[in-house]
DNA sequence: GCCGTTTTCGGCCCGACTGTTTTCAGTCG
């Protein structure tokens, strides 16, 4: 896999070109950065693309042209890149790591190198300890300590935080500001609004005529550790949970433009600006301006999209993955909504590793308005969770039946299991047990390090039994902790389609598995999906919104998600 | 360096804040 290496090299080339004093290479630098993003976020290995379709294949990628495609070719064939090596000879500095530090760009890094010989983070830490940085021109005591803090943070958190932690925090801050009586309106923006699986910082937008008072109020919130920057329109605070939060106070007339701008993502916004330019307009965070400099929008975000000739795009889609073009053609998909969800097909009870009784779960699920839930406790091979034998499943299902009778029409409980797909691709329970279930959910839990070929065969063999209705958390990844298992996604998705297996979108914030990107890939195969909570406690039943947002980020419509169906329709799907 | 229903040449998003200055460069998003 060359992608991350090449992306890093392009980024470093861009950093080093910034240091060229001879000429302004602004746009060349921009081009390298864009190419780095393209390669860095590519799902397919760039080496494969080159081998299969050559330079022409590379040049079809956005931001990759004649020169950068030649660079990629050179690196793949020789393992080196002359242009990079030459620049690196001039600047033997680890820009890739050093630019991750807040407040350090290429130019200040160069100064640190020339004056103090700093080449990498370790050198930098030494320089801070010796208090050598504060005396440099353009630096000071403040810079020295901020750089030190940034290194510490980088080393402790590793960067981005789970949406499942960041969103509730953002909502607490939003609600506190809303209840302060100081503001007319307050909304969450940024990647949190786009419901991206991890977020780098929080953006909160406010309409208020009392800017100073709002900024003071925010600085004193109990969630805030310290204030990093404070101005009349923008304040940045460090939150105790280890995230930065920007608060922006805006004029009422620019709120629509601002919420659009600060929701992003960046590529989406750049494209909108280009469309604006094409219409003789200028879009920025304050409005959509005509040639005379008059703001033509004063209201909502919808108005901006409309004036640009686009349908309004849900925030989850705003990643510049083709949504703008669809909006121009008025062909955006109608995305599945949280309110469309009628049931939850992956729930655990105290029978294995859940914390609540079946009755407690059924009660809470009914309160949430679910029409049905699937009880999916573990099978015997998952022994760390107390996985059940065939015999124990008989008792389990008898208990489910009993609660079902008790709840009458309030909610329907379905009999199922989160069953292990064993190492050889066979299933963990006897056919007789499987036949007694309403449907079967299956997952891989062991031997996660198998090679791609073996894992793919293992899973497809399980699908081919014809018993599996839902493939749970397909890639087994844990965000920031465990990489996805190796398997051929194309083959798996095709086999899922052929066998009528729905792919799960596990709503647990550290899973979100399938991910948005994998959903986008899978939907092309015509597969169906199930958005489940994988709840292990009653409060987990509320995590459904994360799964639904992930589905929206994967462009799914209601009819592609099986648990938006009535129970009757769902049973038909399970029968195939 | 990339790109093209304005263009194979001439554009490419642009404003806010900080620290260290004493009018602004660097960084960030």
A304-339 pLDDT per residue, tens: 999 999 999 999 999 999 999 999 999 999 999 999
pLDDT above 70 coverage of chain A, percent: 98
Check whether residue A143 has its CB closer than 7 Å to nucleic acid strand B. yes
- A282's enclosing H/E stretch is strand A282-284
Q: How far is CA A380 from the centre of its chain?
A: 33
Q: Which of A87-96, A229-238, A369-378 has the highest mean pLDDT?
A: A369-378
Measuring from the CA of residue A249 to each C1' atom, give the nucleotide at the shortest distance: B16
A396-423 average pLDDT score: 94
Residue A280: how many CB atoms within 10 A of its CB?
A: 8
A536-542 average pLDDT score: 88
Measuring from the CA of residue A25 to each C1' atom, give the nucleotide at the shortest distance: B1
Tokens 């299933």 locate to A427
Check whether residue A149 has its CB closer than 7 Å to nucleic acid strand B. no
**Quick one: pLDDT at residue A3?**
79
Residue A427 has pLDDT above 90, yes or no: yes
Q: Is A166 helix (H, G, I), strand (E, B) or coil?
A: helix
* Cβ atoms of A182 and A214 closer than 8 Å: yes
| Nearest-angstrom CA–CA distance, A503 and A507 | 13
For A186, how many CA atoms within 13 A lie in the half-sphere containing its CB?
A: 24
Using 50, 70 and 90 to split pLDDT, how confident is the model at A191? very high
Check whether residue A142 has its CB closer than 7 Å to nucleic acid strand B. yes
Using 50, 70 and 90 to split pLDDT, how confident is the model at A159? low
More confidently predicted of A230 and A156: A230
Q: Which of A14-28, A45-59, A228-242, A499-513 has the highest mean pLDDT?
A: A499-513
Cis ω for the linkage preceding A452 (within 30 of 0):
no
| Nearest-angstrom CA–CA distance, A364 and A358 | 10
Domain annotation for chain A: domains and CATH numbers = 3-156 (1.10.150.110), 161-250 (3.30.460.10), 257-328 (3.30.210.10), 338-574 (3.20.20.140)
Cis ω for the linkage preceding A514 (within 30 of 0):
yes
**Quick one: pLDDT at residue A41?**
67
Measuring from the CA of residue A18 to each C1' atom, give the nucleotide at the shortest distance: B26
Residue A490 has pLDDT above 90, yes or no: yes
- Residue A170 class from Cβ within 10 Å (0-12 exposed, 13-18 middle, 19+ buried)? buried
- A395's enclosing H/E stretch is helix A390-407
**Quick one: pLDDT at residue A177?**
95
In angstroms and rounded to an integer, the radius of gyration of the C-alpha atoms of chain A is 27
pLDDT above 90 coverage of chain A, percent: 64
More confidently predicted of A154 and A530: A530
Check whether residue A55 has its CB closer than 7 Å to nucleic acid strand B. no
Measure, in angstroms, how far nucleotide B29 C1' is from residue A266 CA: 9
Q: Dihedral sign, CA of A318, A319, A323, A327?
A: positive
A335-348 average pLDDT score: 97
More confidently predicted of A530 and A449: A530
Residue A141 has pLDDT above 90, yes or no: no
| Nearest-angstrom CA–CA distance, A53 and A554 | 27
Residue A48 has pLDDT above 60, yes or no: yes
Residue at shortest CA–C1' distance from B1: A28
Using 50, 70 and 90 to split pLDDT, how confident is the model at A231? confident
Across the strands, what pairs with A162? A198
**Quick one: pLDDT at residue A136?**
87
Alpha carbon distances (Å) from A385 to A217, A351, A445: 46, 9, 11
Measure, in angstroms, how far nucleotide B5 C1' is from residue A557 CA: 32
Using 50, 70 and 90 to split pLDDT, how confident is the model at A481? low
Residue A157 has pLDDT above 70, yes or no: no
Across the strands, what pairs with A465? none
**Quick one: pLDDT at residue A381?**
85
Per-residue pLDDT of A251-283, as tens digits, reads 888 899 999 999 999 889 989 998 998 888 999
pTM of the model: 0.80
Q: Which of residues 22-51 of A touch strand B (CB under 7 A)?
A: 27-28, 30-32, 34-35
Measure, in angstroms, how far nucleotide B21 C1' is from residue A100 CA: 26
Q: Which of residues 404-443 of A touch strand B (CB under 7 A)?
A: none
Per-residue pLDDT of A550-574, as tens digits, reads 999 999 999 999 999 999 999 999 9
- Give exposure, A47-68, as e/b (b: 16+ Cβ within 10 Å): bebbeeeeeebbeebebbeeeb
Q: Is A421 helix (H, G, I), strand (E, B) or coil?
A: strand
Alpha helices in A18-81 (DSSP H): 26-40, 46-59, 66-78
Check whether residue A84 has its CB closer than 7 Å to nucleic acid strand B. no
- Give exposure, A423-457, as e/b (b: 16+ Cβ within 10 Å): eebebbbeeebbeebbbbbbbbbeeeebeeeebbb
Measure, in angstroms, how far nucleotide B24 C1' is from residue A156 CA: 34
Check whether residue A131 has its CB closer than 7 Å to nucleic acid strand B. no
* Cβ atoms of A63 and A30 closer than 8 Å: no
Residue A245 has pLDDT above 60, yes or no: yes
Check whether residue A67 has its CB closer than 7 Å to nucleic acid strand B. yes
């Amino acid at each position: 896999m060359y992608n991350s290496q090449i992306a890093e090299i392009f980024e470093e080339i861009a950093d080093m070109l910034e240091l060229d004093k001879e000429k302004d290479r602004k746009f060349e630098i921009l081009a390298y950065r864009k190419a780095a993003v393209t390669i860095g976020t590519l799902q397919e290995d760039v080496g494969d693309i080159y081998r299969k379709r050559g330079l022409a294949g590379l040049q079809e990628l956005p931001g990759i042209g004649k020169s950068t495609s030649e660079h990629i070719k050179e690196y793949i064939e020789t393992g080196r890149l002359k242009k990079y090596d030459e620049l690196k000879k001039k600047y033997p500095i680890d820009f890739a790591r050093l630019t991750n530090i807040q407040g350090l760009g290429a130019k200040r890094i160069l100064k640190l190198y020339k004056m103090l010989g700093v080449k990498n983070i370790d050198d930098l830490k030494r320089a801070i300890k010796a208090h050598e940085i504060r005396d440099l021109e353009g630096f000071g005591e403040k810079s020295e300590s901020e750089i030190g803090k940034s290194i510490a943070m980088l080393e402790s958190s590793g960067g981005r935080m789970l949406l499942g932690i960041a969103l509730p925090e953002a909502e607490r801050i939003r609600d506190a500001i809303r209840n302060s009586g100081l503001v007319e309106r307050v909304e969450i923006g940024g990647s949190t609004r786009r419901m991206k699986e991890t977020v780098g910082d929080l953006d909160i937008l406010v309409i208020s005529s009392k800017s100073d008072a709002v900024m003071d109020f925010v600085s004193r919130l109990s969630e805030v550790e310290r204030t990093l920057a404070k101005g009349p329109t923008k304040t940045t605070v460090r939150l105790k949970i280890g995230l930065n939060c920007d608060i922006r106070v805006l004029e009422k007339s620019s709120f629509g433009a601002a919420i659009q701008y600060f929701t992003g993502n960046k590529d989406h916004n750049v494209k909108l600006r280009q469309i604006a330019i094409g219409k003789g307009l200028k879009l920025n965070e304050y409005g959509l301006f005509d040639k005379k400099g008059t703001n033509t929008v004063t209201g909502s975000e919808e108005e901006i999209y409309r004036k640009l000739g686009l349908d309004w795009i849900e925030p989850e889609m705003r990643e510049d993955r083709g949504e703008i073009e669809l909006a121009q053609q008025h062909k955006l998909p109608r995305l599945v909504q949280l309110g469309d969800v009628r049931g939850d097909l992956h729930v655990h009870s105290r029978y294995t590793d859940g914390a609540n009784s079946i009755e407690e779960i059924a009660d809470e699920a009914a309160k949430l308005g679910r029409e049905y839930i699937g009880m999916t406790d573990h099978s015997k091979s998952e022994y760390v969770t107390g996985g059940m034998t065939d015999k124990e499943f008989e008792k389990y299902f008898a208990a489910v039946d009993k609660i079902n009778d008790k709840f009458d029409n309030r909610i329907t409980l379905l009999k199922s299991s989160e069953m292990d797909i064993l190492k050889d691709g066979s299933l963990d329970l006897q056919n007789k047990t499987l036949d007694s279930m309403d449907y079967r959910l299956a997952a891989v839990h062991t031997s996660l390090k198998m090679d791609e070929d073996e894992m793919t065969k293992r899973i497809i063999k399980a699908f081919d039994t014809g018993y599996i209705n839902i493939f749970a958390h397909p890639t087994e990844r844990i965000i920031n902790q465990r990489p996805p298992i190796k398997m051929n996604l194309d083959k798996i998705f095709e086999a899922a389609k052929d066998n009528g297996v729905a792919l799960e979108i596990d709503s647990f914030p550290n899973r979100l598995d399938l991910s948005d990107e994998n959903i986008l890939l899978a939907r092309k195969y015509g597969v169906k999906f199930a958005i489940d909570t994988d709840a292990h406690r009653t409060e987990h039943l509320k995590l459904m919104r994360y799964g639904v947002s992930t589905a929206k980020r994967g462009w799914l419509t209601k009819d592609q998600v099986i648990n938006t169906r009535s129970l009757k329709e769902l049973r038909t799907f399970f029968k195939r």
